[in-house]
Amino acid sequence: MWKNKNVWILLIGEFVAGIGLWLGIIGNLEFLQAKVPSDFLKSVILGVGLLAGIVVGPMAGRMTDQLSKKKVMLVSGFVRSMSVLFMLVAIQQDSVWWMLAFLITIQVSAAFYFPALQAAIPLVVKEKELLQMNGVHMNVSTLSRVIGTAIAGIFLVIMSLSQLYILSLLAYLGLFLLTFLLKIDEEIVEKTTMKEREKSGFKEVFPIIKGRPIVLMTLIMTLVPLLFIGGFNLMVISISELQDSSAIKGWIYTAEGIAFMIGAFFVKKISGKRSPYQILFFFSFLIGIAQIMLVFADQPILSVVAFTLFGFSVGCFFPTAATIFQTRMPKEYHGRFFSFRNMLDRIIFQVVLLMTGMLLDLVGLQMMGVIIGSLSVLITVFFYTRNKMQQPLELEQRVS
């Protein structure tokens, strides 16, 4: 795999673009903090961009299946780069409306780019290398998040907000140029998708998902980590307030990020010895335990341990889930499927974010951890029991 030039292009591109993404996210928060006093209005403004990405999801999935994955990545990558210009105007004009234009444009471009990327990965590596590729790709994304947030905090002290966004623009342009170097053999896929040209939306994908129990169950089980991820930042802020410590935020983010990367490497070692569903069930259960451990959120060491356990478990969970989706769904449906999953994740993320805020107000962080942790354990036990009762042959196949 490491001799494959396409692999290096995708990984370097992900790292560079990830740095740009997190520079932009920190810049967004800085701009909103200065211009919008209401926390509710901040969440509404950020939510508008996510909503735009959800709206174009069906079209993005259809076009990803109909067109070359590389072309979709190039066009969406170019649009994402140009969207930063709206933010530069917003800073110049002190205008939240221009920021809205930026958020809508960048989220729409992301709605096209990421399904195309997920559909392209199985075309550039062998099936037996998919789990390793997914794990490494997610590790690179995590590393770019850790470095991006760190240098964004430093750059905000030594440069203007406009200069920060210019660096973000350069990172996106770097990804755009790297995408030109990709060599993806889509000839076989193109022949099969020609018959799908007239089809639209997700309606053709649902029967395929329903007919593959492992895909359907994995799709539902991704709710477990999302129950944690959706309110991640709110929980970290709450822990910081509970312990009256700003430093704990840095410890939690660092520990979770490092644990995620270790987990993504570790899962490759055990994938040949355990079925994908055994891996999902086990680490889904551990995620539930990590959530319940938030009952000790007032203890610095135990709170860091909880997020470390979560990071490691998610590092094992997500590469396995991504590999199942890429190998069990027919390639001609990859664009629409990953677009649908992207939409579903966004919707769940928003619901969980609102639910987390409500629970933090009503019952506090510690009791909330017990509630969502118990729910995660119940979901895991339910599907584990159902799997044991049905024991379909497909669920026992291993991802190599």
Identify whether the C-beta of residue 256 lies closer than 8 Å to the C-beta of residue 308.
Answer: yes
- Residue 85, pLDDT above cutoff 90: yes
CA distance 136 to 139: 5
Which residues are within 8 A (CB) of 160 and not within 5 positions of it... i.e. 6 or more apart? none
Q: Are 374 and 247 in contact (CB under 8 A)?
A: no
pLDDT in tens, 279-319: 889 999 999 999 999 999 888 899 999 999 998 999 888 88
Q: Are 377 and 288 in contact (CB under 8 A)?
A: yes
Q: Which domains does the chain have, with CATH numbers?
A: 1-181 (1.20.1250.20), 205-400 (1.20.1250.20)
Q: Are 258 and 311 in contact (CB under 8 A)?
A: yes
Q: Is the pTM of this model over 0.75?
A: no
Q: What is the pLDDT of residues 95-142, one digit of tens each?
A: 889 989 988 998 888 888 877 887 777 777 777 777 677 767 777 777
pLDDT-above-70 percentage for the chain: 86
The Cα 69–Cα 117 span in angstroms is 7
Task: Identify which of 354, 321, 380, 352 has the alpha carbon closest to the alpha carbon of residue 226.
Answer: 352
With both helix axes pointing from N to C terminus, report the angle between 69-93 and 5-35 in degrees, rounded to the nearest 10: 20
Rounded distance, CA 142 to CA 149, Å?
Answer: 11
Alpha-carbon distances of 139 from 145, 260, 292, 367, rounded to whole Å: 10, 7, 26, 31
For 176-188, write each residue's pLDDT tens digit. Answer: 888 888 887 765 4
Q: Considering only residues 288 and 260, tell me which one the structure prediction assigns the higher pLDDT.
A: 288
